[in-house]
Amino acid sequence: MDSELIAKFPFLEEARQFVDDSGADIAELITSPSYEPARARGVQRITDALAHSEVSYVPMVRASEYDRLMEVLSYPYARMIVSAVGDRFLTKRYALAEAVRMNRILVGEGRENTIEVSEQLNAPSTADADGIMRIRFTDYLRLANRMKSVDWKLINSDIHSGLVYLPQEKFSRLMQNALQDRIESELPLMTPDEFKPYLRGDINKVEMALAETKARFSPTGGEGMKIEFCPPCINHLLEMSRQGVNLPHSARFALVTFLSALGLSYDQIITIFSESPDFDESIAGYQIKHITGELSGGEAYTPPECATMKTNGICYNPDKICEQEWMTHPLKYYRFKSKPRRDGQPSRDAGGKSPTDARKKGA
């Protein structure tokens, strides 16, 4: 396999051989000035993931062997830094961004390379004379089960003799899922203690970028929850909890997921539930950790939409904002209310109009 191809797909087995043949080793990658470009590109892979959800593609057609080696080595370096930071959000976002990059490249690759990549991603494929890719339906189900669009339902697929036939574009998209799963399952890596001081500078850079990204994504902008921005349903549930009313499961679930999405810590959430009459820290703590994903190391549950809240009978005291057509989720309510008004005041009423705006228009 040529080095340009390895630089495109640095997760392939051949990358290991390429690096071995170059004489590079992990200690040099981390410490030697000769490998500074690989380290810088490794950090860029991660910051690209945080900023754009996609690792940028650097074409290597005319690149030297040295540049190709730096590109290949940047991949293990990025994985090392992600592992050392040890943040689940970062790991998932990085895995996705590497996989999106690969998808973008693979879609334009020839049949032979596509088959090789799929083989190494544990989803072997073949191609027919027209370039249509074929994959076992069991692999298809495994990789397509998270795709929401009806196009991906098996019933809408071209399937013969246990094989699903896919155009290159859809096939590459499936391989994106395969690579994302693989990277997530491989990380974190163990970093030997003696390397950690050398990694510290790059870990700090990534941690800063990570904190900025989290603040950007947080409905509160990283500033903590403000009660006046909460929707009436959540305020009602908080009040019930404060008064020691025993909340039904659906209400506890809605409250924990909402508070967790706003960035409240385990301690802050459990304090709220501690006023419940049947409070038992071991049970409540288990439930909170399960819902927030802390227990399983998995993904946190997302707060239910307004439609689910209504079905569960916990859409309490909806106000004018709740009546808006776009208001489908309690977090949307929070974001809307926390947007600053033109006059510098934070809160808004229905329809995006502040009370002042509404008066001006005679509403």
Report the nearest approach of ligand SF4 to the CB of residue 251 (Å).
Answer: 11
Binding mask 231-250 for ligand SF4 (x = CB under 6 A): xxx-----------------
Q: Which structure tokens are listed for 313?
A: 């009978």
Report the nearest approach of ligand SF4 to the CB of residue 77 (Å).
Answer: 45
Report the nearest approach of ligand SF4 to the CB of residue 312 (Å).
Answer: 9
Of residues 76 and 304, the one with the C-beta less far from ligand SF4 = 304
Q: Which three-class secondary structure state does DSSP give residue 164?
A: strand
Instruction: Of 46, 103, 102, give the one whose Cα is nearest residue 74.
Output: 46
Q: Which structure tokens are listed for 16?
A: 């290991």
Sheet-wide strand order for 125-127 = 125-127, 133-136, 163-166, 158-160
The one segment of 86-94, 207-215, 230-238, 242-250 that binds ligand SF4 by CB under 6 A: 230-238
Q: How many CB atoms lie within 10 A of CB 97?
A: 25
Q: Which three-class secondary structure state does DSSP give residue 266?
A: helix
Of residues 121 and 327, the one with the C-beta less far from ligand SF4 = 327
Whole-number Å distance between alpha carbons of 144 and 174: 7
Q: How many CB atoms lie within 10 A of CB 129?
A: 6
Binding mask 325-344 for ligand SF4 (x = CB under 6 A): --x--x--x-----------
Binding mask 272-311 for ligand SF4 (x = CB under 6 A): ----------------------------------x--x--
Report the nearest approach of ligand SF4 to the CB of residue 86 (Å).
Answer: 35
Q: Which amino acid is at 17?
A: Q
| Contacting residues toward ligand SF4, per CB under 6 A | 231-233, 306, 309, 315, 318, 322, 327, 330, 333
